């Protein structure tokens, strides 16, 4: 047990008691290049309250931080905002100490999910509009279904003007300093956008509904479930969420490809150059060298997408198939796309890519580009002209 792990005071009698996962690099397929944190908060009031727990392997870190200010056996209330195990899987361990604690969870989906995973741990289900007094403070519960699981909810403390937001407004970002103003804002905002793109993109409507239900709240801090706590840039992150949830895109192009012997790569270079000549900034991603999570973050707010793959065994490259499967699941909106690729014989890949782009809801603005063997200068010029003529 590491006795140097302490609670971090956020305000008198309110502490961050979470865990920092510096080494996390893959969060169920989301490449987390800057690690993450599992944030939990402790309120010392008449009823000692813990908001969320952490991922089970970090339970000792949580318990150690709690024990630095209060005996965990004294916890009266645990709010479980979300069943996903990165926030709930340490619950059974905390309950071994806090034997009498009631666990607040959403009705019906939080209750169902926690019971299925951990059995009966003494749950109190709550619904929209429910609140409890923990002494000098009140906790109001606001369900945020499908943001991003059916059970998700947030908690607002009106006396402190604190919103405990769980996944919403979070970032997969490991830091030693807990607040937004103690870290680089551009890095935080990039990771917040990446988090939104990779976790919340399919749920824009629900995000807009949640923003509207939270819109009237006076917030002094947003205490997230991952990454930093917002206190200086609350308007900025709320504005970002409104913009991201709207599905609006910028005049920008993303080119994603794999290549076997360089021909599809030449096509990708040509397409990138053509967009730039048209005055549209373009980003060029070789799928072999850039994590999918970073690529979809860029696609999320870019109007144009070109996806290229050579043909292998009558199929597209498995790397591109995997990428398109991931992208389709995120239900991207308002994009204009086309497919390209080279081939030796057969040449099915661009057609298969085009079908997947359509299935992902994209508007096809250019017929698939299929080039046998190696593109000629005339073919490259023709491709350039087609892109220059795009409306
Ligand atoms: Fe951070 Fe949906 O769990």
Q: Quick check: CB of 225 below 6 Å from ligand 1?
A: yes
Q: Quick check: CB of 113 below 6 Å from ligand 1?
A: no
DSSP-based three-state secondary structure for 172: coil
Per-residue model confidence (pLDDT) at position 3? 85
Return the closest-CA partner of residue 40 out of 92, 85, 96, 79: 79
- Annotation says 52 is catalytic: no
Long-range contacts, 350-358 (Cβ 8 Å, 24+): 350/308, 350/309, 352/315, 352/316, 353/307, 353/308, 353/309, 353/316, 353/320, 353/324, 356/321, 356/324, 356/325, 356/328, 357/305, 357/307, 357/324
Q: Quick check: CB of 298 below 6 Å from ligand 1?
A: no
- Annotation says 45 is catalytic: no
**How many Å apart are CA 245 and CA 174, to the nearest integer?**
25
Per-residue model confidence (pLDDT) at position 233? 98
Atom 1, ligand 1: residue with shortest CA distance? 167
pLDDT tens, position by position, 325-348 = 999 999 999 999 999 999 999 999
For 278, list phi and psi in degrees, rounded to 5: -80, -5
Atom 3, ligand 1: residue with shortest CA distance? 84
Query: Closest ligand 1 atom, CA of 226?
Result: 1
**How many Å apart are CA 377 and CA 303, to the nearest integer?**
28
Active-site residue among 15, 21, 41, 148?
148
Query: Closest ligand 1 atom, CA of 149?
Result: 2
DSSP-based three-state secondary structure for 318: helix
- Annotation says 172 is catalytic: no
Per-residue model confidence (pLDDT) at position 347? 97
**230 alpha carbon to ligand 1 midpoint, in Å?**
18
The yes-or-no verdict on residue 384 having pLDDT over 90 is: yes
Per-residue model confidence (pLDDT) at position 1? 67
Per-residue model confidence (pLDDT) at position 214? 86
Per-residue model confidence (pLDDT) at position 301? 98
pLDDT tens, position by position, 105-138 = 999 999 999 999 999 999 999 999 999 999 999 9
Atom 2, ligand 1: residue with shortest CA distance? 84
The yes-or-no verdict on residue 280 having pLDDT over 80 is: yes
pLDDT tens, position by position, 83-111 = 999 999 999 999 999 999 999 999 999 99
**Is the Cβ–Cβ distance between 310 and 260 less than 8 Å?**
yes
**Is the Cβ–Cβ distance between 298 and 335 less than 8 Å?**
no
**375 alpha carbon to ligand 1 midpoint, in Å?**
46
Q: Quick check: CB of 151 below 6 Å from ligand 1?
A: no
**111 alpha carbon to ligand 1 midpoint, in Å?**
16
Active-site residue among 52, 86, 151, 191?
86
The yes-or-no verdict on residue 204 having pLDDT over 70 is: yes
Active-site residue among 30, 38, 61, 82?
82
**Is the Cβ–Cβ distance between 337 and 359 less than 8 Å?**
no
- What pTM did the predictor assign? 0.96
93 by Cβ neighbours in 10 Å (0-12 / 13-18 / 19+) ranks as middle
Q: What tokens were used for 107?
A: 């009705």
Give the chain's mean pLDDT.
97
**87 alpha carbon to ligand 1 midpoint, in Å?**
7
- The pLDDT-based confidence of 388 (bands split at 50, 70, 90) is very high
**27 alpha carbon to ligand 1 midpoint, in Å?**
10
- Annotation says 28 is catalytic: yes
**How many Å apart are CA 111 and CA 310, to the nearest integer?**
49
DSSP-based three-state secondary structure for 387: helix
**86 alpha carbon to ligand 1 midpoint, in Å?**
6
CB atoms within 10 A of CB 293: 21
Long-range contacts, 238-244 (Cβ 8 Å, 24+): 238/211, 240/189, 240/192, 240/193, 240/196, 241/168, 241/169, 241/196, 241/207, 241/211, 242/208, 242/211, 244/193, 244/196, 244/197, 244/200, 244/204, 244/207, 244/300, 244/301
Q: What percent of the chain has pLDDT over 90?
A: 96
Q: Quick check: CB of 86 below 6 Å from ligand 1?
A: yes
- Annotation says 180 is catalytic: no
């Amino acid at each position: 047990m590491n006795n140097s792990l302490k609670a971090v005071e956020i305000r008198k009698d309110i502490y961050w008691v979470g865990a920092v996962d510096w080494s996390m690099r893959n969060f169920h397929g989301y490449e987390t290049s800057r690690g993450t944190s599992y944030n939990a908060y402790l309120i010392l009031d008449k009823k000692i309250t813990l908001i969320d727990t952490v991922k089970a392997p970090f339970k000792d870190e949580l318990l150690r931080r709690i024990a630095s200010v209060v005996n965990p056996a004294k916890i009266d209330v645990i709010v479980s905002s979300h069943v996903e195990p990165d926030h709930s899987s340490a619950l059974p361990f905390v309950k071994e100490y806090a034997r009498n604690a009631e666990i607040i969870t959403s009705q019906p989906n939080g209750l169902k999910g926690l019971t299925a995973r951990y059995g009966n741990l003494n749950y109190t289900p709550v619904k929209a509009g429910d609140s409890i007094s923990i002494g000098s403070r009140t906790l109001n519960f606001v369900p945020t279904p499908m943001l991003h699981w059916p059970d998700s909810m947030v908690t607002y403390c009106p006396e402190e003007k604190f919103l405990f937001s769980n996944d919403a407004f979070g970032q997969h970002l490991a830091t030693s300093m807990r607040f937004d103003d103690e870290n680089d804002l551009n890095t935080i905002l990039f990771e917040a956008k990446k988090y939104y793109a990779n976790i919340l993109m399919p749920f824009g409507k629900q995000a807009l509904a949640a923003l509207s239900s939270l819109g009237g709240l006076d917030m002094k801090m947003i205490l997230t479930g991952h990454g930093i706590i917002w206190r200086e840039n609350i308007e900025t992150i709320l504005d970002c969420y409104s913009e991201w949830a709207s599905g609006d895109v910028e005049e920008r192009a993303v080119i994603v490809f794999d290549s076997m012997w360089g021909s599809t790569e030449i096509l990708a270079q040509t397409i990138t150059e053509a967009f730039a000549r048209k005055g549209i900034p373009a980003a060029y991603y070789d799928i072999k060298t850039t994590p999918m999570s970073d690529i979809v973050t860029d696609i999320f707010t870019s109007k144009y997408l070109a996806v290229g793959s050579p043909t292998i065994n009558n199929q597209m490259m498995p790397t591109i198939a995997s990428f398109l499967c991931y992208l389709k699941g995120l239900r991207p909106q308002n994009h204009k796309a086309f497919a390209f690729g080279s081939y030796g014989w057969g040449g099915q890949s661009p057609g298969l890519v085009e079908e997947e782009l359509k299935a992902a809801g994209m508007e096809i603005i250019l017929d698939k580009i299929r080039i046998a063997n190696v593109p000629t200068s005339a073919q490259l010029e023709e491709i350039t002209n087609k892109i220059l003529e795009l409306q």
